[in-house]
Amino acid sequence: QVQLVESGGGLVQAGGSLRLSCAASGSISSINSMGWYRQAPGKQRELVAVITSSGSTNYADSVKGRFTISRDSAKNTLYLQMNSLKPEDTAVYYCNAHTLFDYWGQGTQVTVAS
């Protein structure tokens, strides 16, 4: 079992920045990869960024060059630095941990005002 708790969402003006955090606990050693997903109203949940246990990263085309995923293994914490935010980035952002199963956090709202 893996428990995930996100924080750092909020309201920001277009062009601004936010940093999301995801604190992981439980069976940390079983995690193969961690990522951030988002879901806007009326839309399906989509991958934003993922980082593997080896440190490889992958991003959705819509956020490349603006968002950076990183992790602090000592703190068991995943981050998403979001810069140059756009109104279309508005969504609930979820932290994911992938083992043999998928674990999800409760989500944190990000709202970007135009």
What are 41-50's pLDDT values in tens digits? 999 999 999 9
CB atoms within 10 A of CB 103: 19
Percent of the chain with pLDDT over 90: 96
Cα torsion angle, 9, 89, 76, 32, sign: positive
CA nearest to 96, candidates 5, 29, 30: 5
Confidence of residue 101 (pLDDT cuts 50, 70, 90): very high
DSSP annotation of 83: -
What are 58-79's pLDDT values in tens digits? 999 999 999 999 999 999 999 9
